[in-house]
Structure 1
Amino acid sequence: MSILLKPVRVLYVIYALLLWLAIMFLILPPIILASLLGRIRGGNITFYFLRLWADLWFPMVGIWVRKIREDNNEKGTFLYVVNHRSYLDAAIAVKVMGLPFRPLGKIEMKKIPFFGFIYRQSVVLVDRASTAGRAASVREMMTMVRKGISILIFPEGTTNETNQLLTPFHNGAFRIAIETQTPLKPVLYLDSGIRFSHKRMLDLSPGRCRVLFLPSIPVAGLTMEDLPALKQRVFSVMHAALKEHSEYPDVPVKQQAI
């Protein structure tokens, strides 16, 4: 049966990819115009067009993104901390996160033809190979937060390719939260790795894609001495919620400072 379904899966992936590109080309001209307004105002406008792209693409490929709110629809400026399982995660963020926000993104992605231009307009770039580059991205994130723009960070640092629900967190998100006194908002993508595996391109499949919003975690009054405890608290909250709602298997993991 799997052999018979393989041609159908290939056609579905080609259709999804072509549709992805077609909608992106349609929104490129207004994004170019928005870029003339600067990184703050222009970037905010860019996300409305990216949300339009996501609102069209997901249902047209049969992926139904559904929010599950356990946070009573909290409003405000947050530092979103999100688990990372799939290439779909960035697209899901565009669809569900409160605007305005900016994700933290790898600087290497800006070199991709066509997509790289949109990427540069919509993320805070980080060069992990450069100390100066990392410091510059931290300064930009702090500027965004102080202007009322939320930041999205994958605290695991990269896509989780293990059998653990979560891998150990890096310190960056928690350092920024404390330095800017911005509450942390845990958000969990429960099905993205099932919909689109990071291992094989042909694993894209239609179906549900749940997003769980958890109550924010305040950092008011915390100092850098509190960072390890804060990181462990957020990890524990996210891990417990994933264990309750997720269909992924889990291997116990001990959180550690990174």
Structure 2
Amino acid sequence: MKILLKPLQIIYCIYALLIFIILMFLALPFVVVASAFGIKGGNFIYKVCLVWTRIWYFFIAIRHKEIYEAPHDKEQQYIFVANHISYMDIPPIVAAIRQPLRVLGKYEMIKIPVFGWIYKAAVILVDRRDATHRSKSVRALKAAINHGISIFIFPEGTFNISERPLKDFYDGAFRIAIETQTPIKPLLFVDTIDRLHHRNIFELTPGKCRVVFLDEVEVKDFTMKDIQHLKQHVYRLMEDGLKRYRVYP
């Protein structure tokens, strides 16, 4: 049966890619203009990306759903963290977080024609192989926080290709949280790996795409000595949360 359905899936993937590209070129002029207006322009770019995501989801039959396991204050500034399992992790960020935001993103993505330019205008880039570049990214993230803007970081760094719910976390998000005294808001991307597996872009499928908001984690009065405790606490919250929605070996 899967063999018979494969041609249909490939056709669907090509269709989804074409819609994505059309919307990308429609968004491009707005991004070009907005990129000249500093922080306000950056905030507007995220609104453009939100419209882009909603229209794309509509045409490719992906149903975005937000689940709030705890109250979420949309006026509160946060460091958002989430699990990373798919290229489809990006659209839910702008679909679910409707407040001023900057995302820490992979430097390699700017190499993609046209999309890479929009990506560069929208995110704070990091090249994890370059210590100087990493330090620059941290300064940019802190600057965003100082301007009242929330930030988003994948604490796993790269795709989780293991059978565990989560890979080990890096310290970065938790260090910044303590240094800036900004609460952490963990999110769960439950279905993105079902919509598009990281191994093949031609495995995109329609269906639900749930984003789960967990309870915020306060860092008031935490010091650098508490980084590992904070990291492990958030890890456990997210791991337990994922196990409530998915079955793992």
* Alignment-derived partner of residue 127 in structure 2: 127
* Alignment-derived partner of residue 109 in structure 2: 109
* Alignment-derived partner of residue 44 in structure 2: 45
Cα deviation code 1:31-65 (max 9, x no counterpart):
11101112x12111101111000010012101101
* Alignment-derived partner of residue 172 in structure 2: 172
* Alignment-derived partner of residue 208 in structure 1: 208
Counterparts of 1:208 and 1:190, CA distance in 2: 9
1:186 CA displacement: 0.3
User: Does 2:12 correspond to 1:12?
Assistant: yes
1:18 CA displacement: 0.3
1:107 CA displacement: 1.4
1:143 CA displacement: 0.5
1:73 CA displacement: 2.5
Cα deviation code 1:128-148 (max 9, x no counterpart):
121111111000000001111
Counterparts of 1:15 and 1:198, CA distance in 2: 19
1:111 CA displacement: 2.2
Counterparts of 1:2 and 1:162, CA distance in 2: 24
Counterparts of 2:231 and 2:185, CA distance in 1: 12
DSSP-derived class of the 1:88 partner = helix
TM-score of the pair, normalised by structure 2: 0.97
* Alignment-derived partner of residue 65 in structure 1: 64
Moved over 3 A (4+): none
Q: 109-118 or 22-31: which moved more?
A: 109-118
Q: For residue 48 of structure 1, what is the amino acid of its counterpart?
A: K
Equivalences for residues 179-194 of structure 1 within 5 A: 179-194=179-194
> Which runs of no fewer than 5 residues in structure 1 stay unpaired?
251-258
Cα deviation code 1:110-133 (max 9, x no counterpart):
122101111111101112121111
Q: For residue 242 of structure 2, what is the amino acid of its counterpart?
A: L
User: Does 2:227 correspond to 1:227?
Assistant: yes
Cα deviation code 1:7-26 (max 9, x no counterpart):
11111000000000001111
1:98 CA displacement: 2.8
DSSP-derived class of the 2:87 partner = coil
Counterparts of 2:227 and 2:3, CA distance in 1: 51
Equivalences for residues 142-181 of structure 1 within 5 A: 142-181=142-181
1:92 CA displacement: 1.3
Q: For residue 60 of structure 1, what is the amino acid of its counterpart?
A: F
Counterparts of 1:9 and 1:128, CA distance in 2: 34
DSSP-derived class of the 1:187 partner = strand
User: Does 2:81 correspond to 1:99?
Assistant: no
Q: Between Structure 1 and Structure 2, how many residues are aligned? A: 248
* Alignment-derived partner of residue 238 in structure 1: 238
TM-score of the pair, normalised by structure 1: 0.94
Cα deviation code 1:162-216 (max 9, x no counterpart):
1000111010000000001000000000010011100122211111111100110
Counterparts of 2:148 and 2:155, CA distance in 1: 21
> Which runs of no fewer than 5 residues in structure 2 stay unpaired?
none
* Alignment-derived partner of residue 249 in structure 1: 248
Root-mean-square deviation (Å): 1.0
Counterparts of 2:129 and 2:94, CA distance in 1: 27
